[in-house]
């Protein structure tokens, strides 16, 4: 039976490698684990990233929130989640040297391939990041597994860090979540430069007069004959593309005026990036 279990572990690894799991970069990367492969802590999420242009598999609310921060960062050029620590024999050897138990499959009791939550490229620098609730760091078992991960990356001269819920700016994450989906809003991207210019000018004028975001957006929709919600979605699109910027440390509330609004890119820039 033990041999059959080990054969199962080996065949699973080979199957995933054949599928391309844990390989590639940017849009071509495939995570070692998909959300359907493991039970998640909280709500598992599949989300298209701005940085990579592909679907990301995030296993918890905490991973999702930190992903928002990474995806919005200017210096992040690649995000690879659920990155495998291969070969398996290496983490087994590290665990043996430490005198601790290697993570195992709860059903087969056989060792599993460990993963790092995020392998991030900051321009030309790699950083491995373990995302954990601060409350779990008091667990000896959690610390043992993190130490295996840490030593794995140390042997590759890759910087490794733990990120907890205390390190993630919640307001910033919620703001990014609010406008994240409108980055690739197809209905808005294909507006002509003339329409963009009129909408942006009218929206900005009303916001500068102190109107709440909701009222300013509704006025624009009515004035320009757009379906309800168009101007608000376009405001989100402008923030997601960083054409307009606001103070991200202040929660965006459509019922209130927008403070510290700045235009970074004008309609001329938008025209160069795809308007007609």
Among the four given CATH numbers 3.30.460.80, 3.40.1350.10, 3.40.50.1370, 3.30.565.10, the one describing domain 2-168: 3.40.1350.10
Residue boundaries of the structural domains of the chain = 2-168, 179-272
Domain 179-272 classification at class level? mainly alpha
Q: How far apart are CA 148 and CA 127, in angstroms?
A: 16
Name 263's Cβ contacts closer than 8 Å, sequence gap at least 6: 204, 243, 244
The separation between CA 255 and the C-alpha centre of its own chain, rounded to angstroms, equals: 27
- Crossing angle of helices 170-179/230-240, nearest 10°? 120
Along the 276 residues of the chain, how does pLDDT read in single tens digits? 344 445 457 888 999 999 999 999 999 999 999 999 887 555 889 999 999 999 999 999 999 999 999 999 999 999 999 999 999 999 999 999 999 999 998 888 899 999 999 999 998 899 999 999 999 999 999 999 999 999 999 999 999 999 999 999 999 999 999 999 999 998 887 888 899 999 999 999 999 999 999 999 999 999 999 999 999 999 999 999 999 999 999 999 999 999 899 998 765 444 444 443
**In the chain, what's the furthest Cα-to-Cα distance?**
74
Q: How far apart are CA 45 and CA 48, in angstroms?
A: 10
């Amino acid at each position: 039976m033990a041999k059959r279990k080990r054969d199962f572990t080996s065949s699973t690894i080979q199957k995933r490698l054949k599928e391309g799991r844990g390989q590639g970069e940017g849009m071509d990367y495939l995570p070692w684990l998909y959300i359907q492969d493991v039970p998640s802590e909280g709500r598992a999420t599949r989300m298209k990233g701005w940085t990579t242009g592909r679907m990301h598999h995030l296993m918890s609310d905490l991973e999702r929130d930190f992903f928002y921060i990474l995806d919005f960062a200017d210096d992040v050029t690649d995000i690879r989640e659920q990155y495998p620590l291969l070969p398996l024999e290496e983490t087994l050897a590290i665990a043996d040297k430490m005198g601790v138990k290697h993570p195992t499959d709860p059903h087969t009791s056989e060792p599993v391939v460990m993963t790092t939550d995020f392998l991030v490229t900051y321009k030309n620098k790699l950083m491995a990041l373990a995302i954990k609730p601060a409350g779990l760091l008091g667990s000896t078992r959690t610390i043992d597994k993190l130490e295996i991960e840490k030593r794995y990356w140390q042997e590759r001269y890759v910087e490794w860090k733990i990120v907890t819920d205390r390190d993630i700016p919640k307001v910033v994450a919620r703001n990014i979540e609010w406008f994240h989906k409108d980055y690739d809003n197809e209905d808005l991207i294909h507006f002509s430069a003339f329409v963009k210019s009129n909408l942006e000018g009218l929206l900005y004028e009303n916001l500068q007069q102190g109107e709440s975001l909701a009222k300013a957006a509704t006025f624009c929709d009515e004035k320009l004959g757009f379906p309800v919600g168009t101007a608000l979605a376009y405001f989100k699109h402008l923030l997601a593309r960083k054409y307009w910027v606001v103070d991200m440390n202040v929660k965006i509330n459509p019922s209130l005026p927008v403070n510290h609004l700045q235009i970074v890119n004008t309609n001329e820039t938008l025209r160069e990036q795809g308007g007609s």
